Amino acid sequence: MVDINTHIDFEKIISKKGFLDLEVDPTLDLFAEIEKLKKEKNAIVLAHYYQEPDIQDIADFIGDSLGLAQKAQSTDAEIIVFAGVHFMAETAKILNPHKKVLLPDLNAGCSLSDSAPPALFKAFKDKHPDHLVITYINCSAGMKALSDIICTSSNAQVIVESLPADQKIIFAPDKNLGAWINKQTGRDMLLWNGACMVHEIFSMEKIIKLKVRHPMAKVIAHPECEAPVLALADYIGSTTGILKYAEKSNAQEFIVVTESGILHQMQKASPNKTFIPAPPQNTCACNDCPYMKLNTLEKLYLCMKYELPEIIMDESLRAAAKKPIERMLEISAKLGI
């Protein structure tokens, strides 16, 4: 079959648009094509739980941020295709400098990551030289390079607890996760003022109303939510934690306070249970992460076919960003998380 796209300047499209916006033959079975490309190229598709259902179904591994970083570290595939957002693919590249790491759409950013520009953070850090810096993985490589230890929502609490009680700590960039960890551990970490646009938008009032209508429902929430919303929760944890809780719980109904993509795996694991997505403050679909949802099956297919867009990093930045990620992975491995 002749490839009609042979003479297209792919690099130019990527530099302008951030993804390959080529036409895809609508009669193609994209699931079969992606499977074929995986085998031909020795590629692995890693997907976050917030990806659209089709992408989750074609992925080789679905996970939370920690699980994905661990899988990126251990895979022997030659190409890592990251169906997630930029900081996740960048983390995979930091851990695998000699592998090709692809992201279907380079515009898949993260509001939390954007809330911590490295230059501003450095000025803040320099004012507190006696503090150790723990940074949530949802940040740029520049932020990681300024950090002592990276954490995710799965291991933030144990990482903080692994440090001496009198150790002064700056926690960035998520103020909500930081405040929750302060509450759980009794620490007084200095918090950077960042937040996730998806998790900040849940309405406490609407969740209370839902609880009145569904009194037996368990409220399960991600720690990126604000404190008044977390105060309503029966369980707080990472996306993997929330999924496991919903699967093991005897309850039949759950009010799910995180990005809506997670419902796909919940329904698959427990088809007889009812999962109610928590409503945002207005009528928008704000519990969909607009960045996560930039990835589509078509973009995934094109990205694997043409091996673009690729994550490219400056080597000195990569090496500096690797140290705090490795520290996190070592602590997690030691604690069996």
The residues in 282-321 that bind ligand SF4, with binding defined as CB under 6 A, are 289, 291-292
Can you state the angle between helices 315-335 and 86-95, rounded to 10 degrees? 90
Q: How far is the CB of 36 from ligand SF4 (least distance, A)?
A: 30
Give me the count of residues in the chain.
337
Collect all residues with Cβ–Cβ distance below 8 Å to 55 and sequence separation of at least 6: 45, 47, 83, 295, 296, 297, 300
* Residue 107 in contact with ligand SF4, rule: CB under 6 A: no
Q: Do the beta carbons of residue 108 and residue 87 sit within 8 Å?
A: no
Residues 45-64, interacting with ligand 13P (CB under 6 A): 64
The per-residue b/e assignment along 255-267, b for 16 or more CB within 10 angstroms, e otherwise, is bbbbbbbbbbbbe
Residue 238 contacts ligand 13P per CB under 6 A:
yes
- Which tokens in the block code for residue 155? 């291991």
d(CA 253, CA 217): 4
Contacting residue, 64, 90, 226, 259, with ligand SF4 by CB under 6 A? 259
Please calculate the CA angle 275-278-280 and round it to the nearest 5 degrees. 155
Q: Which stretch binds ligand SF4 (CB under 6 A): 14-22, 148-156, 193-201, 310-318?
A: 193-201
Write out the H or E segment, with its range, that includes residue 37: helix 30-41
Question: Contact with ligand 13P (CB under 6 A): which of 153, 176, 295, 296?
Answer: 153
Q: Does 180 bind ligand SF4 (CB under 6 A)?
A: no
CB of 216 to ligand SF4, least distance (A): 28
Out of ligand 13P, ligand SF4, none, what residue 197 binds, judged by CB under 5 to 8 A for its kind, is: ligand SF4
Give me the residues that bind ligand 13P (CB under 6 A), please.
64-65, 138, 152-154, 196, 224, 238-239
Q: Which residues are near ligand SF4 by CB under 6 A?
A: 50, 85, 110-112, 138, 196-198, 259, 289, 291-292
